Structure 1
Amino acid sequence: MLSNRYVALPAHHAARTTSAGSPFAAGRATFLTLYTLTGDPGTAFAGMSTLREQLIDQGRMAFPEDKKAVREGDCFAGVHAAASAPTRLVSDDVPLVGHTGIVIRQRRGGSEASLARADRLAGLDFVTGVWCLESRLREGIELDIVFVDGNAADAAIAMRAAEPADPSTEVLVDAPFDRINPMHYPWADAIRNSDLPATIG
């Protein structure tokens, strides 16, 4: 299992687009965690849920529940991957590609157009790979993860300009995030001093 945590700074929130009522709207969902698993994702997802309860029982997850909020959770399975040509990666390598940030696009409909878009996005200078997935829990919901090198907010805006959504695709959220390096949080003050929500609501 590979785990990566991501953060959206104020500039990332400003570059985010969402559908009405999205849990990613109105300055929410500042943090994102992705677990990349092999094997059957449903089995792994169930095991992780059980492990969480065990950690709580053992007192190893003591952060107050009222200060945590999971805006959305899902279990996705990969259906397509496109790598940047200079990386010389094969499709199976893409979920592990090096990156400084990501742009996620959750969508409904337009699957064929979106997979073709992923291949074209992989040709952009700042993109290292694109991974396309489908939800195992919510029929019809699909996800594109674009791995980028550089400013993720600028990348999100540039990708929308270069490859706008196909008319057959309903984009639920299009959001950039920076990858968090463990124990290195130079971005924390920018969030504290911003107008993003200071409490869970």
Structure 2
Amino acid sequence: MKTTGIIFAGLDCDADAIEDWNRWYDLEHLPPNIALTDVMHGRRYVAPPSHQGLRPDGCDEAFSDGRSAFLTIYWLCGDVDGVMATMTDYREVLVEADRMFPDEKKIVRLGDALALDWAVADPALKADPGDIPHISHTDIHVVLRRGLGDQHWHRAIYAPAAVSVEGVHAVVSFTSRFAPDTAIDLHMIEGDPAEVVAALRAATPSRPATTDVGMDGPFQLIEPLRYPWAEQIRGSWMPQTVA
């Protein structure tokens, strides 16, 4: 099965519900959604204070001031619009079955459905195009940008420079089905995210002036049912409630 796109969601929960919400997500929310037709798998990520501090000033509201501490990505192998519609409808089934976490304790800051546009891997991996979205990683570096007229530049100029950086295994780019002129680039990285992100920014050329970046920062891959960063979030400057 070939990757066709992703469902992308930036989320938050109240700090006093981190463990409960994450267990609900791992045990009760990911499984029924992954079981839907044309969903290959789902992965979850977290941006604790150390990762949040790597975001530059000027990010979109959904990613500024400690927001979107969590990220869910569903990888799709069918019609992107159809999967998004099915997942939206199925949410009501889960609500009726009393399988949803209390709305007042969590929030979706940004949700989108995006189609796969291009993928570039470190040449040393000798990956086939279909392999690239599945390359393993410890963290994922997310760049949300606007200006699809620059998409060829990002594929031909930016991506080769990015994957030349030690610790950057691949870059996979998606275009939004619902937000005009919007793309999300996912960098599969390994190693100390602060070091890799600094090297990535130093090694890649300045983006075209027509490109507007709304998010530029890493998330740590969540190991299911293990949340050692929960206390870091609770003891930090990050928002403690979703209100």
Please give the TM-score of this superposition, normalised by the length of structure 1: 0.94
Instruction: Choose the corresponding residue for 1:72, options 110, 118, 122.
Output: 110
Displacement, 1:164?
Answer: 4.2
2:83 pairs with 1:44? yes
Instruction: Choose the corresponding residue for 2:121, options 63, 77, 83.
Output: 83
Q: Is the 8 A contact 1:165 1:171 kept in 2?
A: no
Displacement, 1:19?
Answer: 3.2
Please give the TM-score of this superposition, normalised by the length of structure 2: 0.78
2:134 pairs with 1:96? yes
Partner of 1:55: 94
- Give the 3-state SS of the residue equivalent to 2:141 in structure 1: strand
Q: 1:170 to 1:100 in 2, by over 3 A?
A: same
Displacement, 1:152?
Answer: 2.4
Superposition map of 1:154-169 within 5 A = 154-168=195-209, 169=211
Partner of 1:4: 43
What is the distance in 2 between the residues matched to 1:154 and 1:185? 23
Percent identity reads 37
Instruction: Choose the corresponding residue for 1:187, options 209, 216, 229.
Output: 229
Q: 1:87 to 1:67 in 2, by over 3 A?
A: same
Amino acid in structure 1 at the alignment position of 2:107: A
Q: Is the 8 A contact 1:18 1:172 kept in 2?
A: no
2:73 pairs with 1:31? no
Partner of 2:190: 149
Stretch deviating more after TM superposition (64-73 or 21-30): 21-30
Displacement, 1:20?
Answer: 5.6
Q: Is the 8 A contact 2:169 2:188 kept in 1?
A: yes
Alpha-carbon RMSD across the aligned residues, in angstroms, is 1.4
What is the distance in 1 between the residues matched to 2:60 and 2:216? 14
What is the distance in 2 between the residues matched to 1:156 and 1:170? 19
- Give the 3-state SS of the residue equivalent to 2:78 in structure 1: coil
Q: Is the 8 A contact 1:18 1:171 kept in 2?
A: no
Displacement, 1:85?
Answer: 2.3
- Give the 3-state SS of the residue equivalent to 2:130 in structure 1: helix
Q: 1:43 to 1:102 in 2, by over 3 A?
A: same
Instruction: Choose the corresponding residue for 1:111, options 128, 135, 151.
Output: 151
Where is the helix percentage greater, Structure 1 or Structure 2?
2
Partner of 2:56: 17
The CA deviation string for residues 35-76 of structure 1, in whole angstroms up to 9 with x for no partner, is 110111110111111111111111112x21011110000011
- Give the 3-state SS of the residue equivalent to 1:105 in structure 2: strand
Gaps of 5+ in 1: none
Gaps of 5+ in 2: 1-39
- Give the 3-state SS of the residue equivalent to 1:44 in structure 2: helix
Residues paired across the two proteins, number: 200
- Over 4 Å off, 4+ runs: none
What is the distance in 1 between the residues matched to 2:59 and 2:203? 24
Amino acid in structure 2 at the alignment position of 1:131: V
Amino acid in structure 1 at the alignment position of 2:137: H
